[in-house]
Structure 1
């Protein structure tokens, strides 16, 4: 490609006038010549896309300077980019660092990176570079990624039109699992009656026993966790509140894998009911409090009086009979216990009235 600048200047035939000829591309000096012929030629041996731009020349002669009109030159096509990956093997939860370079192009440039895996739409990242002909980016490695391919291509804007390069070389990345999906074992069963012991064991296989954490949750509430161990064990006496979804989560860095199971706890016995022979009575009258469970007899009962600080135990029995005193006014409850499961009745309020003094 040749950029030619000619100066048409009137002069005497006997006078050799020197011309200072300067050629600019996008306002930057690319060529300069001093000639007595009034012509200069800027030779480009092999045109590249980086030679695209607006060219203009200026001629100075005899103390005068003139500028030519601007000439736009578009060299189509772009060089093929080069893609380099920092590592060829990564673990789930890590990132792949990539560098894409267009060696013979000039900024500003766009770089489009692509992450590809089998039977999946490629994921793209676009980076704009204003001052360099390369770009770097990172792609997170997610659960399920195994063998990945990456490539990139360049893009430039010429007179409000975009032009893309050919795709770069493809880079293959192998993904290794830092640990396997955990197993969650529930014993004796995931269907259990309250009062029985229920045991959980969450286990995984780890490539490197470092910075790994196992967490057991019930309905998103953390029950237990261990660090730098491959097994978590947890046990409890089953209650109705223990019904729900249990989740075993294994985490290492940004990698995470989970297993869920549902537990159903069947009611062993309903809440007890406290009844009073009278809820309003005069002082010195007899008051009987009785605690019972519908269709259930084999329980240990306690009758208590509610107190602001803590409940006051009155008797370990299902029945309590006493001679009422004004000071006995208050709220009473009963509790029933079976197989270490304790349930509380609704409170019953008793009012005891003193004798009138004549």
Structure 2
């Protein structure tokens, strides 16, 4: 015997639409010298993987039906025949199936309370293959799941109250390609607000100056679900100040340079409640500036260093409460007026910093470098 040829053909056509009944025809031409039937083994491959095999002694064509073809049936097909130790494989033929069913979305609850879970189901009716399913909330993708069945569930939680529209879509993977479906119709989930709030109180409530003692309280109001644990988080900017359950508090000295917004955050299961409040802190006095006179000085000569804050809260500071000092203080200096220093220049460059202090608030000036000149002889 001799295997002369083998071909694979796709009927009715290599390009069909969804639900078409497709047949793969494997036709082998074999020459033999005797009347006895030859035992043949046929294999059909899709994208390099065996999907069907059959042993037969008839010379009739091998037919492999693809009933109601789906996009997942798209791919490259080959047919192989083996007789005893001899075999032959056909060339590849590509089948393309167009058209996907419209997905269906279903939810188990249409009205829920804050934090309550909703189960959404997305189905690709009648489709087969490997899928990526996508769930959307108000047109924004919120979940993606890969499965090998045509239906999948997603557990959804909503971060805000009101109405939320949910829909889904899917993609069928046919290596190396993918086929995307249309999107489903939308369903609406109504999320009702729970009567529980985070309360943030700050004392004093107004006219806060640097150095004042701040008292911050974060608590829960209208807790009607005491069976669930409540966590409270009190923070200032990115700094977490306190953690607790029904009430937390924190005391601190007000500083103008610190972030002025405080946050009270309540967490109960999947429920998040946030209350923020901004605090305006009036500067007690400005950062001091340090200057020297004269602008140039010779070694061992006296110079005057002036340290001053351009502004101060006179309604809070007495005349002598804001004091100035030089840093370092090791060098010889005299000061008869607050902030005015008589200093003898050294033989080398030297750095000075002015320190202003009042009501335990300390501010430092930028560094002033004194570069004494050598005297001419």
- Please give the range of the TM-score, normalised by the shorter of the 2 chains: 0.5 to 0.7
Q: Deviations over 1:203-237 (max 9, x none)?
A: 544452332234444565555554135xx67788x
Match of residue 211, structure 1, among 226, 229, 233: 229
Deviation string for 1:35-62 (max 9, x for gaps)?
A: 5343222233322223223322233457
Candidates 50, 54, 64, aligned match of 1:32? 54
Return the alpha-carbon distance in structure 2 between the equivalents of residues 83 and 77 of structure 1: 19
Contact 1:186 1:201 in 2 (8 A): yes
Query: Residue 4 of structure 1 aligns with which residue?
Result: 25
Instruction: For 2:245 and 2:189, locate their aligned partners in 1 and report how far apart those are by CA, in whole Å.
Output: 29
Residue in structure 2 matched with residue 111 of structure 1 by the alignment: 133
Query: What count of residue pairs does the alignment treat as equivalent?
Result: 275
Q: Distance in 2 between matches of 1:76 and 1:70?
A: 19
Equivalent residues of 1:83, 1:152 under 8 A apart? yes
For residue 182 of structure 1, report the CA deviation from its aligned partner: 3.7
Q: Partners of 1:73 and 1:201 in 2: how far apart?
A: 69
Q: Secondary structure of the equivalent of 1:50?
A: helix
- Residues 192, 39 of structure 1: CA spacing in aligned structure 2 closer, same or farther, 3 A cutoff? closer
Give distance in 1, aligned partners of 2:255 and 2:175. Answer: 71
Find the partner of 1:47 among 63, 66, 69.
Answer: 69
Do the aligned partners of residues 184 and 75 (structure 1) sit closer, same or farther apart at CA in structure 2, a change above 3 Å counting?
same
The equivalent of 1:258 in structure 2 is 275
Q: CA deviation at 1:274?
A: 10
**Are the structure 2 counterparts of residues 171 and 23 from structure 1 closer, same or farther at C-alpha, using a change threshold of 3 Å?**
farther
**Distance in 2 between the 1:243 and 1:44 partners?**
71
Could you say which residue in structure 1 is the equivalent of 2:165?
Answer: 149
Structure 1 regions of 5+ residues with no counterpart?
A: 276-291, 293-334, 337-341, 347-358
User: How far has the Cα of 1:128 moved from its partner?
Assistant: 4.5
CA pair 90-257 structure 1, distance change in 2 beyond 3 A = farther
State whether residues 234 and 249 of structure 2, in contact with CA within 8 Å, keep that contact through their aligned partners in structure 1. Answer: no
Query: Aligned equivalents of 1:61 and 1:217: distance in 2?
Result: 79
Q: Which moved more, 1:177-186 or 1:40-49?
A: 177-186
Counterpart of 1:8 in 2: which secondary structure? strand
* Equivalent residues of 1:273, 1:345 under 8 A apart: no
The alpha-carbon distance between structure 1 residues 139 and 189, as it changes in their structure 2 partners (threshold 3 A), is same
Partner of 1:310: none
Larger radius of gyration: 1
Counterpart residue number, 1:355: none
Distance in 1, Cα, partners of 2:30 & 2:266: 80
TM-score scaled by structure 1?
A: 0.56
Select the residue among 253, 262, 265 that pairs with 1:247: 262
Unaligned runs of 5+ in 2: 1-21, 285-312, 326-337, 339-356, 364-377
Which whole-Å CA distance do the structure 2 matches of 1:274 and 1:225 have between them?
A: 39
**Residue 173 (1) aligns with residue 189 (2):** yes
Q: 1:24 to 1:199 in 2, by over 3 A?
A: same
For the aligned residues, what is the CA RMSD? 4.7
Distance 1:45 1:242 in 2: 74
